[in-house]
């Protein structure tokens, strides 16, 4: 099976780079599965996991929104923030989750509520990726 080159890049630098058989992730328009030879496209990404299939194993990268650019032999993900499983600090994510839940429960204005909801999604995504649950 032909492979596709994947790189995940953030404003802080590269996070992941590898040849993989398939890239699966959630774009804002829905679930995407990308194999070698996919038509070129650009899509905004949701907060979620990028699943990278390599042989019998699947690696996960937690991505906090951004863009995916597909070319027939290459996928580039430009993310606001992204972490491979090994880089995720689970206690930090659990703390961020608690803070966000408290903000959501307390009656604050709409802007704070939306920010807290996004923070909660980022935290849950990191926890799920770390636990390899996705
Ligand atoms: P926190 O409130 O813990 O900072 P956050 O969701 O607000 O979480 P981001 O703004 O998305 O954090 O990310 C800021 C930087 O910290 C990024 O480089 C991101 O990769 C890193 N980061 C955030 N949370 C974690 C985590 N749990 N483990 C490892 N790196 C993290």
pLDDT tier at 43, thresholds 50, 70, 90: very high
The segment with the largest mean pLDDT, out of 23-27, 87-91, 108-112, 130-134, is 87-91
What per-residue confidence (pLDDT) applies to 28? 82
Rounded to an integer, what distance in angstroms lies between the CA atom of residue 48 and that of residue 61? 9
Ligand 1 centre to CA of 133 (Å) is 19
Residue 118 has pLDDT above 70, yes or no: yes
What per-residue confidence (pLDDT) applies to 120? 97
What per-residue confidence (pLDDT) applies to 133? 72
The domain 90-130 having CATH identifier 3.90.420.10: the answer here is no
What residues contact 77, with CB distance under 8 A and at least 6 apart? Answer: 6, 7, 8, 9, 25, 45, 50, 61, 63, 66, 67, 68, 69
Q: 15, 47, 81, 89: which to mutate for ligand 1, most atoms within 8 A of CB? A: 81
What's the mean per-residue pLDDT of the chain? 94
Does residue 63 contact residue 8 with C-beta atoms inside 8 Å?
Answer: yes
Q: Which CATH architecture has domain 4-85?
A: Sandwich (2.60)
Atom of ligand 1 nearest to the CA of 91: 27
Phi, then psi, of 11 in degrees rounded to 5: -60, -20
Domain ranges of the chain: 4-85, 90-130
pLDDT in tens, 62-116: 999 999 999 999 999 999 999 999 999 999 999 999 999 999 988 777 768 899 9
Does residue 54 contact residue 61 with C-beta atoms inside 8 Å?
Answer: no
Atom of ligand 1 nearest to the CA of 92: 27
Ligand 1 centre to CA of 101 (Å) is 16
pTM of the model: 0.94
């Amino acid at each position: 099976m032909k492979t596709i080159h994947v790189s995940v890049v953030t404003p802080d630098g590269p996070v992941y780079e590898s040849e993989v058989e398939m890239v699966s992730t959630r774009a804002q328009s829905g679930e995407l599965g990308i194999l070698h030879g996919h038509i070129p496209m650009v899509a905004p990404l949701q907060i979620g996991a990028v699943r990278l299939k390599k042989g019998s194993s699947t690696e996960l990268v937690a991505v906090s929104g951004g863009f995916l650019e597909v070319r027939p032999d290459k996928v580039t993900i430009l993310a606001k923030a992204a972490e491979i499983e090994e880089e995720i600090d689970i206690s930090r994510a659990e703390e961020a989750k608690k803070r966000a839940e408290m903000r959501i429960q307390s009656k604050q204005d709409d802007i704070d509520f939306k920010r807290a909801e996004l923070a909660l999604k980022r935290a849950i995504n990191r926890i799920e990726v770390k636990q390899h649950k996705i």
